[in-house]
Amino acid sequence: MSHDAIACCRLCGDDLPGPLGPDDGIYRYTCRRCGRVALHETVDTAAIPGKLHLLSGWTRERTEKGERALTILANDVDPAADGITLDAVLNLPVLPRSITDRIQKLLEALARRSPYFGAEIGFSSLLDYPLAYLEHVPEDLEHRHPFHKLTEQIIQRGWIGKTAAHQYYLTAEGLEYLEKRHRQSPESRDCFVAMKFGVEFLDRAYQEGIAPAVRDAGYLPVQMAYLEHNNNILDEMLAAIRRSRLLIADLTTQNQNVYYEAGFALGLGVPVIFTCHDADAPNIRFDTQQFSQIRWLAPRDLRVKLKNRILATIG
């Protein structure tokens, strides 16, 4: 495996502006197709030729959404390293599995770029196909790129229109389809954190472990420590849980409110990740074995384990 400078994108093979060496073991660059890429030098991309387009789609989508580049790591890396392992990325639930998923990804990209209804958006089959997570195709076959077939299909369904070569707009039917899909799988970025606050080591676990882990995974930590002694705004707390994409329940000190909030989330179908300090784990009052749970020793290992669990649970 070479750790030398590279001249092409390791994910799609497109030329980079100039040769680029690893910085602290990580190749960081912006590719015209893949967006912002951060790839550890030990990742053997040649071993997964059939899956590289999924990585390109994922990095491009994160870039377009303004999310920071997460470093892609080899699977056998030190678990404390900052980033996400190759296998974890390829198993993310946000990766499209079917043609319907790819159509939705492309419509979402169009909607993201539309400043107003009916705006014409340029899409290039040469550079923008990763927005639909489509396979890399040699450039001499560009005219037969799957991107053309996919857009033809979407036009036939009436979800997008085409005004000129490479110029598209989202139709009212397309918007309606997207809204329907979103109702089925809400895209909230809120992550509710239920835990005991006001205890020094737990406050530190939140500040240095849980909150950064949630942000690293692309979500927004929501915590309501100030609600603890104010039952008048219980409704607000329940509404915040209802709005959340997931809930993290730290059971350390076995706080009753935390159990209550976790139960409420589970009843609503909001995914719950349980965490607990290792020393307090024997005191857990009910069997959470069937649920995703993490035991931690310090904010640092909590941060790494939690981020990986969030990405593996909901992407």
Q: Which residues contact Zn ion (rule: CB under 5 A)?
A: 9, 11-12, 14, 31, 33-34
**Strands lying side by side in the sheet with 26-31:** 26-31, 35-40, 72-73, 84-85
User: Hey, what amino acid is at 299?
Assistant: P
How open is the CA angle 148-150-153, to the nearest 5 degrees? 110
Using the minimum distance from each CB to Zn ion, give the nearer residue, 9 or 70. Answer: 9
Using the minimum distance from each CB to Zn ion, give the nearer residue, 130 or 209. Answer: 130
- Minimal CA–CA distance to 86: which of 127, 134, 33, 38? 38
Q: What is the spatial distance between Cα 153 and Cα 252, in angstroms, rounded to a whole number?
A: 52
Using the minimum distance from each CB to Zn ion, give the nearer residue, 94 or 127. Answer: 127
Residue 60 near residue 131 (C-beta atoms within 8 A): yes
Q: Are strands 190-194 and 246-250 parallel, antiparallel or unpaired?
A: parallel
- Phi and psi at residue 6, to the nearest 5°: -115, 150
Lookup: tokens for 128? 């923008």
**Closest distance of CB 245 from Zn ion, Å:** 29
Using the minimum distance from each CB to Zn ion, give the nearer residue, 23 or 152. Answer: 23
**Closest distance of CB 74 from Zn ion, Å:** 19
**Closest distance of CB 293 from Zn ion, Å:** 37
**Closest distance of CB 33 from Zn ion, Å:** 4
**Closest distance of CB 9 from Zn ion, Å:** 3
Q: How far is CA 83 from CA 121, 160, 172, 239, 313, in A?
A: 33, 36, 39, 32, 16
Per DSSP, what are the bridge partners of residue 23?
26
Q: What is the spatial distance between Cα 298 and Cα 174, in angstroms, rounded to a whole number?
A: 48
Residue 240 near residue 222 (C-beta atoms within 8 A): yes
Per DSSP, what are the bridge partners of residue 73?
85
Using the minimum distance from each CB to Zn ion, give the nearer residue, 146 or 271. Answer: 146
Q: What is the spatial distance between Cα 149 and Cα 135, in angstroms, rounded to a whole number?
A: 13
User: Hey, what amino acid is at 113?
Assistant: R
Using the minimum distance from each CB to Zn ion, give the nearer residue, 33 or 245. Answer: 33
**Closest distance of CB 12 from Zn ion, Å:** 3
**Closest distance of CB 91 from Zn ion, Å:** 21
Using the minimum distance from each CB to Zn ion, give the nearer residue, 13 or 161. Answer: 13
Per DSSP, what are the bridge partners of residue 162?
168
**Closest distance of CB 56 from Zn ion, Å:** 6
Using the minimum distance from each CB to Zn ion, give the nearer residue, 14 or 208. Answer: 14
